Structure 1
Amino acid sequence: MEESGDKRTLRERVDTETNRKILRLAGLGALAGVLSAALLMPWVGGLGLAGRDTAASFMDIPHDLKVPRLAEHVVLTDTDGEPFAEVAQREREVVDLDEISPWVPAALMAIEDDRFYEHSGLDLRGLLRAALRTAQGNTQGGSTITQQYVKNLLMEQAETEEELERASGRNITRKIVELRQAIELEERLTKDEIMQGYLNLAYFGAGAHGIEVAAQRYFSVPASELDPGQAATIVGIVRSPSYYDPLQNPEHSQDRRDVVLDRMVDTGYIEAEEADQYRGDLRLDHTPRGGSCAESEYPHYCQYVMDWLLTSDVLGETEEERTELIGKGGMTVETGLNRRAQEAAQEAVDRHVPPEDSTKFAAQAVVHPGTGQIRALAQNLRYGFEDESAGTTSINLAVDQDEGGSTGFQAGSTFKPYTLAAALDQGLGYGTSFDSPKSVSVSGLVNCDGEKMSSWSVSNAGESDGGEHNMLSGTKGSVNTYFAQLQRRVGLCETSQMAKRLGVHRADGQDLGVWSSFTLGDQEVSPMSVANSYAVFASGGSLCEPVPAREITIGEPDNGGERIQVDGECEQVIEPDVADGVNHLLQKPFEGGTADGLDIGAPVAGKTGTTDNSAYAWFAGYTPHLSSAVVVGDVRGGEQYPLRNVTIGGRSFGVVYGSTLPGPIWQETMREAVEDTPQDGFGSPPSKFGDPSSEPSGSDEDDDDDGGSPEGG
């Protein structure tokens, strides 16, 4: 704002801080007189403010109003510290007064409190004028900006409906308390601090709390760039945010804007000719409401983090504590998201299973072995709600139901490595072999309750004639009849218990079902669960709780804030030799087996998976530093809509196998993601398990990896 002519700058509104104190003392004396004279009004007597004790009683009113840290965004950043989401219960961005256009306080004072820089929290002239007009039947407010700031502070801090009503109710008791607290607040804060606090706290409609968000919401500019017309528009909203909402009621807003401009002319802030330039159309440049995961670059990952913050004890022992802290915001969460991995995963699922193409979906989770840090969560379906448009969902298909995900998907042969781990854990070697024909009947299985299972008939999925297989060849070709017999040798209960040790659990929260076909993956699980269990092998036997955050910063660490380090809980659940043994076995599918052609130019291990009747197709694999699992299916239910005779992404499939869609998605993701990781390989296969290359001569491998019917449907 220019300091020329008869225009008054903000600084010219008060000579010195000393003058303010003198005015304040004089104002208190006059206030006593006002209140005494107002004894005719029954509300004064009701407060116990009578006669010569009025001023003393007034000064005794509680006035220890705290000025809390204002609710702001929760900022989520990737591993490089780059923000990818800002989430807020109340969308607000706190800025200093010198980052706000001077036209904003000018417009505010013109319409609300022209003597702001002259009074001491109480404007006697305005109060008397309002009292007289109210007494004549024309209700009028006489609140100063400081009083309005007090009211907004009380409303901001209200935790119950009763407290909110007490802070905002239209009654004399509230006004008297507000006056007392306003006067005390001016003892502690400078005028600039009060103005700055008010402009950051006030609600300007359309979800915009504070002047910075309001400027961006209505005009897509920072508050520092607001011109007189824009400032008048926003300031005018304060009186009634719904009625004067520029987006919903532009005519009302325009009329109010012109009233504010008129007052700016009357109070000398702007010439009439200049004010006329800002009349007419509001000239809005609307930026849609932010402050939610829907506006994030990676909305499903964002929502996962926010849900985790609410349920994890890292921000407090109770949900109430956590909710309050999240609501206040002003916090930065450094997540485990690796932007390269996330974008590679998203591009891969979108390319192979386009969201608008059909009802088919693809979802992927990527975790870091040894820490549990979640590097990526991707799916082809966009963040939204199913009833709005095709290709959208609010469900995170990569995680468990209680984490915002689905009830899970049968995992197929991605469960076979758990049988391998159980076998090696019992001391069985690579050479453990069975005659593995095309079909076999397996009996003698016993579940963990001691119940004997009925005889189970299992078949290989391909057209091979079967033959003699050991762990090496059976894993390479994913031979169902081999694994059915290996599970019997190890024990059905022991196999399921190994899966639990590795962190496998149903996505719906129910206990794992222990049935004959357990080794063929008849359980509904999430990609996150599978990826994290495979990470145990990659890490040398350590199971880590999946966590999406690495560090949380609340406030400014150098100014009373704090940093909270987030460490996922890890536990050694299998011996390193067992992990190394599984790693060696799971490299076999890439050597001419079911994962042939899916290598990524770095040491890898993994497993394909296709469920019974092709309901779902999977690929799970890992390097020593990244573990990932991909599932493809139909959102309407794979059992009713199997992956047979389908067209996806412009390609026709008789059957979708783990190697035909999930495999390439995994490959493209990991090929890019490993660029940010060390390139070392797996440890040598332990000699205790025998010759690491002794496949039976003449063994046949299936042309796919699954088959058999899960017992019990």
Structure 2
Amino acid sequence: MLQKIGQLVGVGVIAGVLVAALALPAVGGLGITARNVATGFLNMPSELETPPPPQRSVIYDRNGETIAEIFDQNRELVELDDMAPVMREAMIAIEDSRFYEHGGIDISGTFRAALRTLSGSTQGGSSLTQQYVKNVLIESATSQAEQEAARETSIARKVRELRFAIALEQRVGKDDILEGYLNIAYFGDGAYGVESAAQHFFGVSAAELNLEQSAALAGAVRYPYLYNLRLNPDDGKERRDVVLDRMAQTGAISEEEAEEAKAKDLELDVSTPSNGCMPSDQPYFCDYVVQEIEKNEQFGKNETERARWLRTAGLKIHTTLDVDMQEAAQDAVDKWVPRKNESRKVAAEVLIEPGTGEIRGMAQSRNYGPDESKLGETSINFSTDSDRGGSTGFQAGSTFKAITLAAALEQGKGFGTSFSSGNSTTITGQRNCDGGVLAPWPVKNAGDTKGGTSNNMISGTKGSVNTYFAQLQKSVGLCNVIEMAEKLGIQRADGQSFDNPRTQGNNSFTLGSEEVSPMAVANAYATFASGGVYCKPQAITSIEDQQSGKTIELDSDCERVIDEDVANGVSYLLSQTFKGGTTTGLEIGRPAAAKTGTTDGSAAAWFAGYTPNLASAVFVGDPRGPQNYPLRNVTIGDRSYGAVYGATIPGPIWKETMSKAVKDLPEEKFPAPPGKFGSRSEPSPSRDDDDADTTPASNATGEGGVPNVLGQQESAAVRALEDAGYSVSVSNTRIRSTHPEGTVAAVNPDPGTSLPPGATVNVFLSNGGGAGRATTVPDGHVWRPGTGPVLAPAMTRFTGHDAP
């Protein structure tokens, strides 16, 4: 009779509960009496909001494959029809066998629970509906007070749950309540909801659960820590058997079925979805996506709110990542700069699609992890700016010369714009953006340059001639070059603008003295590739919010920032670097434009380039501080280098990445260079060496070779050879020579010899003994008339890789 009344949810039921409550003593600790509870019962809020419980979010690549899963609770919501019927029967049998008979309150169970609650226990008595209400209140709590109220051991909490349960059953069907409960319940070991629990403990979906598996999961809900099937399998099995017996008692299964199932082991197949970016195969791109959501005000009022949304809303985050391009980049950076190299150098690369800004790849030669003290591990994304989990940036070297070219072309200067650009010059009268005159700036090229040589845009770009670009920048105006960089979306990686050079002056802006990220450089070059259309870098294309049912579409954010002719002119100039210039030997089999970059003293090395449909930038350096830990006399992996330049390591990384990345893209040509920029001829066949980019490339093509340092002082000779890209070994044995004592008497290989970057040049100093044969010939050397003892040809060592 009581159950009938409960099913009708009549006034008599409520009265019965209240009468029972009135007969109970006060709950002393909380100062709440049963009479207070009864008086306020009918006035209590009864409408319970039942939002979807927290569930895991998934990040997908552009082909729909999973990159990572991120969650506070491992939960995947499924409909009741996608749960095995036997699972539903097992849960009802052990938790609320009269679930489909009562109206939200199991009267006998409720009185029993009330008595136990007063004695400090919360065991038993609650219907499935009441348990669902309790879980909803816990999961929807937004403050510590609400959490404590939902968990407190008190009559007040029980009455609140009763009030909500009664109202809920009037409003929602039984199947909906059962579905909600099975999705919200905690099954232990980090598994929330029956779908995640089935996958975690047994490696099947909720729809595939069999009798004994269902009984084991249903049994764990009451005490998920005690009956943890992985940690406490014996207790879990014992509890499973209790459920099977109860199912037999309720008639859900037969006695024989129960005994047969009890005879079986648990047969666990435990697996847990990877949570977060660390286990991902694309951890740094994953981290960038997380940063994009947490730092973007579009997705919430504050970072805390956005982080909660990401980890609880069951988002389906669709991204721009191309897994094949990503793999090509990762393979290349790992090959040339192994993750655990003892020199602690790092390589980072970003690939961006021109015209959309979509990020196709983001790789670096580090394992993703929080322990910076571990060799080869970091959580810093060196590909991007500091506000997106990156570093404060690195000087970009001669990759910035493309910016100066764009500013010059925008002013109407032609390809034939020429300057006398010898080995060194001093720039005077250059002004900052406030009009202030900057201090004189001495500029030099490296290596055995030819003073007085005239260069135009074509030859100056091919040779990356510092003295040419310093004069071009002055002619264009430093402030105009800075403004061009900003048009192209380049900013300092530390988040500051270029205010410092505007107020104090930065003469060497064109030589890449500002700290930026590979993302910024790659995207600027993508703007040239797109014909002058800048697009904000984009990692996310859409987000499906399963809690709200809404989908957020994120379109490309693009605008034209420079004239198409200017962009095409830059592309033409940068494409010439493959024709006897600094990028010779790094071709990818289709039209491309590129620029090397090396900072002073080989502190950092870069390579940036693009085809009409894909742009990429590569950085190589030391995150501890490139100036303090330069790329000189360094061993990276199994290769040793006297000095690393843009064409030495970044170039091959770019070549190997792009060769694979563009394989499935249509081959496109760059537009013809605009005629308005004039003649495309070079002033002379000779050209200067660059800021440490040119020498290795020219050696690779047989031009220049080993500088002639005969007769020079040791320090000057070593500096010239190292600046030319070679490792130097000075012999302890001095030889007779017409050159003054202590100066260079001989080098091996001979001056002019073409060698790959990083090869060793042996230097012999004079003993001042005059002409004639030396008294001794060092071991492993031969006598060369007119030169003296030199290393035997068969023993010539190469410590660098083959020239590109």
Tell me the TM-score normalised to structure 2 length: 0.79
Paired residues for 1:236-635 under 5 Å = 236-249=219-232, 253=236, 256-264=239-247, 266-269=249-252, 271=255, 274-275=258-259, 278=262, 282-316=266-300, 319=303, 322-323=306-307, 325-358=309-342, 359-387=344-372, 389-466=374-451, 467-512=453-498, 513-514=500-501, 515-555=506-546, 561-635=549-623
Q: List gaps (5 residues or longer) in structure 2.
A: 696-718, 720-804
1:670 aligns with one of 655, 658, 662: 658
Q: Which moved more, 1:277-286 or 1:41-50?
A: 41-50
Residues 153/450 of structure 1: CA separation in 2 closer, same or farther (3 Å cut): same
Would you say the 8 A contact 2:369–2:377 is kept in 1? Answer: yes
- Count of matched residue pairs: 685
| CA distance in 2 between partners of 1:316 and 1:568 (Å) | 21
Residues 266/427 of structure 1: CA separation in 2 closer, same or farther (3 Å cut): same
Would you say the 8 A contact 1:619–1:662 is kept in 2? Answer: yes
| CA distance in 1 between partners of 2:605 and 2:175 (Å) | 63
Would you say the 8 A contact 2:6–2:104 is kept in 1? Answer: no
1:293 deviates by 2.2
Residues 689/207 of structure 1: CA separation in 2 closer, same or farther (3 Å cut): same
Q: Which moved more, 1:415-424 or 1:453-462?
A: 453-462
| CA distance in 2 between partners of 1:90 and 1:495 (Å) | 51
Residues 340/99 of structure 1: CA separation in 2 closer, same or farther (3 Å cut): same
| CA distance in 2 between partners of 1:268 and 1:585 (Å) | 83
* Partner deviation per Cα, 1:472-495 (whole Å, 9 max, x = no partner): 001001111211222222222222
* Partner deviation per Cα, 1:603-628 (whole Å, 9 max, x = no partner): 11110111111121111011122111
Identity %: 52
1:67 deviates by 1.9
Q: List gaps (5 residues or longer) in structure 1.
A: 1-18, 709-713
Secondary structure in 2 matching 1:105: helix
1:276 deviates by 7.2
Secondary structure in 2 matching 1:510: coil
Tell me the TM-score normalised to structure 1 length: 0.88
Q: Which moved more, 1:631-640 or 1:403-412?
A: 631-640
Residues 541/212 of structure 1: CA separation in 2 closer, same or farther (3 Å cut): same
Residues 373/26 of structure 1: CA separation in 2 closer, same or farther (3 Å cut): closer
The one-letter code of the counterpart of 2:463 is: G
Q: Give the aligned partner of residue 3 of structure 1.
A: none
* Partner deviation per Cα, 1:308-348 (whole Å, 9 max, x = no partner): 12222443565566445434423322212122221211122
Residues 499/148 of structure 1: CA separation in 2 closer, same or farther (3 Å cut): same
Q: Give the aligned partner of residue 212 of structure 1.
A: 195
The one-letter code of the counterpart of 2:437 is: K
1:168 deviates by 1.9
| CA distance in 1 between partners of 2:86 and 2:388 (Å) | 47
The one-letter code of the counterpart of 2:356 is: T
| CA distance in 1 between partners of 2:606 and 2:313 (Å) | 39
Residues 625/105 of structure 1: CA separation in 2 closer, same or farther (3 Å cut): same
* Partner deviation per Cα, 1:82-108 (whole Å, 9 max, x = no partner): 333332233211112232233433333
| CA distance in 2 between partners of 1:385 and 1:137 (Å) | 43
Q: Which moved more, 1:518-527 or 1:347-356?
A: 347-356
| CA distance in 1 between partners of 2:71 and 2:664 (Å) | 31
The one-letter code of the counterpart of 2:455 is: H
1:156 deviates by 1.5
* Partner deviation per Cα, 1:361-401 (whole Å, 9 max, x = no partner): 11111112222211111112122123474322211110001
1:229 deviates by 4.0
| CA distance in 2 between partners of 1:535 and 1:330 (Å) | 34
| CA distance in 2 between partners of 1:701 and 1:133 (Å) | 88
Would you say the 8 A contact 1:460–1:706 is kept in 2? Answer: no
Would you say the 8 A contact 2:598–2:693 is kept in 1? Answer: yes
Secondary structure in 1 matching 2:278: helix
| CA distance in 2 between partners of 1:91 and 1:362 (Å) | 35
Would you say the 8 A contact 1:476–1:594 is kept in 2? Answer: yes
| CA distance in 1 between partners of 2:150 and 2:440 (Å) | 72
| CA distance in 1 between partners of 2:482 and 2:77 (Å) | 53
Secondary structure in 1 matching 2:363: strand
1:217 deviates by 2.2
Query: Alignment RMSD, CA only?
Result: 3.1
Secondary structure in 1 matching 2:15: helix
Residues 99/33 of structure 1: CA separation in 2 closer, same or farther (3 Å cut): same
| CA distance in 2 between partners of 1:243 and 1:625 (Å) | 58
1:64 aligns with one of 10, 26, 47: 47
Would you say the 8 A contact 2:75–2:195 is kept in 1? Answer: yes
| CA distance in 1 between partners of 2:119 and 2:549 (Å) | 52
Paired residues for 1:181-220 under 5 Å = 181-220=164-203
Q: Give the aligned partner of residue 750 of structure 2.
A: none
| CA distance in 1 between partners of 2:282 and 2:132 (Å) | 37
The one-letter code of the counterpart of 1:684 is: A
Residues 229/547 of structure 1: CA separation in 2 closer, same or farther (3 Å cut): same
